[in-house]
């Protein structure tokens, strides 16, 4: 079961750009706790909230989409 979940996460990471992968890594650490908001995530990645949103948009995704994807998985 754990191997299947790990494989699914690896495959999800392969579908995303560099910033998206970093966001998913941080979100993955919070799966059992409270999910950080976009401002918390930006601070964790040492960038501004606007820069994070812009870079995710350039990769064709958003913070909300990544959170929703992680919850579905």
Confidence of residue 32 (pLDDT cuts 50, 70, 90): low
3-state helix, strand, coil in the chain (%, to 5): 70, 0, 30
> How big is the CA angle at 13 (ends 49 and 39), to the nearest 5 degrees?
15
Confidence of residue 65 (pLDDT cuts 50, 70, 90): very high
Distance CA 34, CA 50 (A): 22
In the predicted model, what is the mean pLDDT of residues 45-50?
94
């Amino acid at each position: 079961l754990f191997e299947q979940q790990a494989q699914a996460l690896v495959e999800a990471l392969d579908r995303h750009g560099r910033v998206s992968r970093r966001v998913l890594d941080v979100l993955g650490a919070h799966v059992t706790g409270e999910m950080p908001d976009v401002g918390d995530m930006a601070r964790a990645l040492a960038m501004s909230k606007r820069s994070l949103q812009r870079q995710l948009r350039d990769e064709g995704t958003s913070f909300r989409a990544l959170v929703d994807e992680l919850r579905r998985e």
